[in-house]
A and B are shown apart, each in its own frame.
Chain A
Amino acid sequence: MKAPDTVTLHVNGRPLSVRTGTSVAAALRIAEAPGMGMARRSVQGEARAPFCGMGICQECRVDIDGRRRLACQTHCEDGMVVEAAT
């Protein structure tokens, strides 16, 4: 049974339960451990992870429920589907 203070989302096809209020940026890190929460690949193909943490740099943009959104500015929600670069 699901704990009341958690939400369950899917990150790159895998279910993940996190504490309510957790950002998608944090969820990327939790999902990818021991990686550092890769969000996208750069123009030259480098792995990039959340950087500024406050919605400025756009490095953490990922596909959330079919829309490109910033992982650091989005709270995880039940049933949310997140697709990050791998």
Chain B
Amino acid sequence: MAAGHCDVLIIGAGPAGMAAALAAASSGARITLLDDNPAPGGQIWRDGPGAHLPPQALRMREALTRCANVRLLCGTCVVSLAGAGALLLEDARQGWVQHYGKLILCTGARELLLPFPGWTLPGVTGAGGLQALVKAGMPVAGERIVIAGSGPLLLVAAATARQAGANVIRIAEQARLPAVAGFAAQLLRWPGKARQALGLASVRYRTGTHVVSVQGAGRVESVRLLHAGGREMEINCDRVACGFGLVPNTELGQLLGCALTPASSGARALAVDGLQATSVAGIYAAGECTGVGGSERALAQGRIAGLAAVETSAAAQRHGPERAHWQAFADQLHRHFTLAPSLKNLARPDTLVCRCEDVPQAALAGCGGWTEAKLHTRCGMGACQGRVCGAAAHFIFGWTPPVPRPPLSPARVATLASIALPPGGGSP
């Protein structure tokens, strides 16, 4: 099996990872930047036939291609650790061990997807999930779409769907009007965000409203929404996109031994210091995996991590004020879009919580925690390895998500075999 060597390995090519690579590149260090998506940009700058990338994203992609010392590997997953200073990687063709000097984790965030009756029907997606699918060329022209959940991402997803010709008939935000209005009033401190918000404003937007259930025979036919005032309504539609904010992707960091810190809505993030260093020497983290805060914060953090990783801490510290400016924005976001405790009761006893193993809420309600749930129901033991139900059960039951185990993503036997055997092969 082939092996790779680099000075700085960056996991995740979203805004944080791209900024880290560009910042570290001027040192001349050999940098490998990898991402499991088919192209760089992360979720916010996901490319595709339905995407309209902002000029900054295009400039950064272009700049990366001009850096001879940056190797960009897309469609590449981290499978597991492979000894000190090495990770086992896999792409569509092969697996290999990648050795590194310094490691920068820019693993981003995923959506918090909470179970409700009907959420497994074809046509139900995440809110960011809908946006990602549309950018990748999924046609939605003429479809009646209801978007629900929480956070500014709902409006962004609605705008993407509308540009693609969809009829977005309702945007249901669970946070109540005073909280959302309070957030909007704070936006003047970040003029760019205020302009963006004005561009996204929609007459279809309703606060204090959450999803109750989705109905349909084999696919989405209607959605029931409940307003905080007690009024319930049923809306006929073709698609429901529902996301309750974002959860930091901490699994690889945890596997490497990096300490966690509490983040929004009870989730956890990778703990970092002023130079984006984690608790493990030589490992840095930047962007949403250190707490959800948007692309501007991720860019500032990425620059700091990239500079710090190539021993230019003084230059890294110059980006501190910029990071603080965007951290304050992130703090406002979390304060105003806190999830209502009533959302813990969206799943009915027969609602599947674990989509991989088809485990209903009733089977989990009596369990005391993850270990018991896994042993008795197989919850979290399927293909997604608890990425979806683990975050949901953390919110619903307060269970600490399972400690990640290798392989971090489903991998081919040939890839796993390459590190299962000691050097030279033979039995251990």
When the two chains form their complex, are residues A52 and B388 in contact, meaning their CB atoms are under 8 A apart?
yes
Using known A-B contacts A53-B132, A54-B129, determine if residue A46 contacts B120 with beta carbons closer than 8 Å: yes
Using known A-B contacts A25-B136, A58-B410, determine if residue A50 contacts B125 with beta carbons closer than 8 Å: yes
Q: Is B219 an interface residue (CB 8 A)?
A: yes
Find the residue from A50, A55, A56, A58 having the highest chain B CB count within 10 A.
A56
Q: Which of B126-153 contact A (CB under 8 A)?
A: 126, 128-133, 136-139
Query: Which residues from B are CB-within-8-Å of A20?
Result: 49
When the two chains form their complex, are residues A35 and B136 in contact, meaning their CB atoms are under 8 A apart?
no
Closest to B409 in A: A55
Q: Which of B87-115 contact A (CB under 8 A)?
A: 92, 110-111, 113
Query: Which residues from B are CB-within-8-Å of A57?
Result: 113, 355, 384, 387-388
When the two chains form their complex, are residues B49 and A22 in contact, meaning their CB atoms are under 8 A apart?
yes
A selection of 29 A-B contacts at a CB cut-off of 8 Å is A21-B47, A22-B136, A23-B48, A23-B136, A25-B138, A29-B139, A35-B122, A36-B123, A42-B358, A43-B356, A44-B358, A47-B122, A48-B120, A50-B138, A52-B111, A52-B126, A53-B125, A53-B128, A53-B132, A53-B133, A54-B111, A56-B111, A56-B384, A58-B384, A59-B355, A61-B410, A72-B133, A73-B38, A74-B38
Q: Is B383 an interface residue (CB 8 A)?
A: yes
Task: Provide the main secondary structure of the chain B interface.
Answer: loop
Closest to A38 in B: B122
Using known A-B contacts A53-B128, A54-B129, determine if residue A72 contacts B136 with beta carbons closer than 8 Å: yes
Query: Which residues from A are CB-within-8-Å of B239?
Result: 36
When the two chains form their complex, are residues A47 and B126 in contact, meaning their CB atoms are under 8 A apart?
no
Residue of B36, B137, B357 touching A55 (CB-CB under 8 A): B36
Chain A positions near chain B (C-beta within 8 angstroms): 18-23, 25-27, 29-30, 33, 35-38, 42-44, 46-59, 61, 67-69, 72-75
Query: Which residues from B are CB-within-8-Å of A53?
Result: 125-126, 128-133, 136
A77 to B78 alpha-carbon distance, docked (Å) = 24
- From residue B84, how far is it (CB to closest CB) to chain A in Å? 28
Using known A-B contacts A37-B122, A42-B120, A43-B358, determine if residue A56 contacts B387 with beta carbons closer than 8 Å: yes
When the two chains form their complex, are residues B355 and A42 in contact, meaning their CB atoms are under 8 A apart?
yes
A18 to B48 alpha-carbon distance, docked (Å) = 12
When the two chains form their complex, are residues A48 and B387 in contact, meaning their CB atoms are under 8 A apart?
no
Beyond A18-B137, A50-B129, A73-B36, 19 additional pairs, beta carbon < 8 A: A21-B49, A22-B137, A23-B136, A23-B138, A26-B49, A30-B139, A36-B122, A36-B123, A42-B358, A48-B122, A50-B138, A53-B126, A53-B136, A54-B132, A56-B111, A56-B388, A61-B383, A68-B410, A75-B38
Closest to A43 in B: B358
A35 to B123 alpha-carbon distance, docked (Å) = 9
- From residue B53, how far is it (CB to closest CB) to chain A in Å? 12
Chain B, interface size category, equals 35 or more
Query: Which residues from B are CB-within-8-Å of A21?
Result: 47-49, 136-137
Q: Is B218 an interface residue (CB 8 A)?
A: yes
When the two chains form their complex, are residues B355 and A51 in contact, meaning their CB atoms are under 8 A apart?
yes
- From residue B305, how far is it (CB to closest CB) to chain A in Å? 22
A29 to B126 alpha-carbon distance, docked (Å) = 16
A26 to B134 alpha-carbon distance, docked (Å) = 8
A30 to B133 alpha-carbon distance, docked (Å) = 12
Q: Which of B31-66 contact A (CB under 8 A)?
A: 36-38, 43, 46-49
Find the residue from A20, A21, A47, A51 having the highest chain B CB count within 10 A.
A51
Q: Is B382 an interface residue (CB 8 A)?
A: yes
When the two chains form their complex, are residues B122 and A54 in contact, meaning their CB atoms are under 8 A apart?
no
When the two chains form their complex, are residues A52 and B113 in contact, meaning their CB atoms are under 8 A apart?
yes
Query: Which residues from B are CB-within-8-Å of A69?
Result: 92
Closest to B136 in A: A23
Query: Which residues from A are CB-within-8-Å of B110?
Result: 52, 54, 56
When the two chains form their complex, are residues A35 and B129 in contact, meaning their CB atoms are under 8 A apart?
no
A38 to B383 alpha-carbon distance, docked (Å) = 17
Using known A-B contacts A52-B113, A56-B387, A73-B38, determine if residue A47 contacts B48 with beta carbons closer than 8 Å: no
Q: Is B347 an interface residue (CB 8 A)?
A: no
A36 to B410 alpha-carbon distance, docked (Å) = 25
Query: Which residues from B are CB-within-8-Å of A73?
Result: 36-38, 75
A20 to B358 alpha-carbon distance, docked (Å) = 35
Using known A-B contacts A52-B111, A73-B75, determine if residue A36 contacts B220 with beta carbons closer than 8 Å: yes
A46 to B384 alpha-carbon distance, docked (Å) = 17
